[in-house]
Structure 1
């Protein structure tokens, strides 16, 4: 597999923690420790545009596919919902002085992962809180939704993963997934696997049809795995780590295909926090503590 660095997007003044795209255009958004949300065109790296500025670090972004509104996890203040075209605040949702680590929107509901171990359900059209679920004494770090089984997976800093019924939010299963905090969880596009990763640097694969039975445990990186994501066609899985590398895996066999790092590819200088596959261009976007956002193109030898 060949890899080529397309470009680097600079402008953030602190670590970059969040990336999001609508997956239908070359536009994506980044945010981080400087409290700025910037809109980029993956084909025009010099044209970053400030969409919003908040007073605290941002770890989580989400785009509502029905309204096009941008949900911003404004740490220690709650959620701000912004019209990214008009650059106007549409709504604010107060959740207390806590970190917000993930936001997922499905249908009419928004699901918010909080640093106090609470999973909050919000009615997206009205921005009203419907339910607080106190699941753990430790942070909720990551959320993943599987539409075919109507399930939500949540990963926690207490090393566990919980599976919820998306309609009733009843707990279906809880299991220890890792030997430390779970930082990222993703369902495979075909719904076969739940893949998780975290501070123990292991990539773990769980079979959905076998009641989340463990089928693979891969010591994938040297240090914490901060994020995992599937390519648009579901053929590849990418992992981002505190060890400053991105690794590309075959999504069916979980065989390692490529390592992208600073020495060989002029990669990031510090921890890589987030990844985003741009399905319109088949490019991988990465965000790092080095304040940079890089874009990568992968191809066959």
Structure 2
């Protein structure tokens, strides 16, 4: 089947001095943040991509960022023992919130209605933070191994948590009680993402499989696809929800149909001058439907997906 769109590499963004691990939206649709092993948090503008602005520098690797629109804050998770809360207007750290134990922060998600942030830590704990009070509200030990990824259901008060012990837990997002345990992956789960309407939960990880769970039917497994050659690092949906993209340690980005789960496009080095090493995270911007990828090769790539 021919792909319905073509991919063009718009630009390569350079400036990071080490692996780039994470991307996050900014207040405006044409801007976003990146961070990685060099501890630098950089803001980029897709309309002027050559100039990155350093907004923060922390003392260790950054695996997770989360933008809090109501307060214009950026939550910075680095692998020390605290969460940095950066006020983007003042360009200053509002608070450094100490965590229960020194551990890497692998993921951060933010719940608007309750003004809480959820952190997934390397020691297997899930931390709930009250952003109104800027303090730790609850700590739950979910596993012996890392909590790698968190996704909040867009409609129901529940969340999915992917673990290094191969499991996915579905929790009540208010009580943090476990509602379901999904055991389908054969290795660490690195990424979970709900479809925008909440019908499906998608997951991927070290076993290179993309799994689709029917969230509307108690998370019954809907399909399982060998999506990549190596570790599947991240899954993200397009702004209109009709497509999603995956990226992998196999250096490729793949674009899929969100309804049929059929592969539509492979973006790689051979065909599109893609990344030379592991692709770690994706950000799909509403600005001209541009897809941004970041990699261990220290660069970011901006892709335009246009209908043929």
The answer for unaligned runs of 5 or more in structure 1 is none
Q: Which residue of 101, 107, 122 maps to 1:102? A: 107
Q: Which residue of 68, 76, 83 maps to 2:87? A: 83
Q: Which residue of 20, 25, 29 maps to 2:29? A: 25
Q: Which residue of 171, 175, 188 maps to 2:182? A: 175
Determine whether 1:228 maps to 2:235. Answer: yes
Which residue is 1:239 aligned to?
Answer: 246
Determine whether 1:62 maps to 2:66. Answer: yes
Cα shift at 1:175: 2.0
C-alpha distance after superposition, 1:38-79 (max 9, x if no partner):
001012112111000000000000011211100000212321
Could you tell me whether the CA contact under 8 Å between 2:40 and 2:57 is conserved in 1?
yes
In 1, distance between residues paired with 2:263 and 2:78? Answer: 36
C-alpha distance after superposition, 1:8-64 (max 9, x if no partner):
110000000010004742110000000000001012112111000000000000011
Which residue is 1:284 aligned to?
Answer: 291
In 2, distance between residues paired with 1:207 and 1:9? Answer: 37
Cα shift at 1:84: 2.1
Segment drifting more, 257-266 vs 173-182:
173-182
Q: Which residue of 49, 55, 71 maps to 2:75? A: 71
Q: Which residue of 4, 11, 15 maps to 2:8? A: 4
Q: Do the aligned partners of residues 94 and 62 (structure 1) sit closer, same or farther apart at CA in structure 2, a change above 3 Å counting?
A: same
Could you tell me whether the CA contact under 8 Å between 2:31 and 2:44 is conserved in 1?
yes
In 1, distance between residues paired with 2:132 and 2:216? Answer: 33
Could you tell me whether the CA contact under 8 Å between 2:26 and 2:33 is conserved in 1?
no
Q: Which residue of 125, 130, 140 maps to 1:133? A: 140
Instruction: Extract structure 1 runs of 4+ deviating beyond 3 A.
Output: none
TM-score relative to the length of structure 1: 0.98
In 2, distance between residues paired with 1:221 and 1:85? Answer: 40
Query: How many pairs does the alignment contain?
Result: 301
Which residue is 1:209 aligned to?
Answer: 216
Could you tell me whether the CA contact under 8 Å between 2:43 and 2:52 is conserved in 1?
yes
Could you tell me whether the CA contact under 8 Å between 1:140 and 1:155 is conserved in 2?
yes
Cα shift at 1:279: 1.2
In 1, distance between residues paired with 2:91 and 2:28? Answer: 20
Cα shift at 1:86: 2.3
Q: Which residue of 13, 20, 41 maps to 1:16? A: 20
C-alpha distance after superposition, 1:163-217 (max 9, x if no partner):
1111222111112131000000000011110000000000000001110000100
- Taking only aligned residues, the RMSD between alpha carbons, in angstroms, comes to 1.0
Segment drifting more, 228-237 vs 85-94:
85-94
TM-score relative to the length of structure 2: 0.96
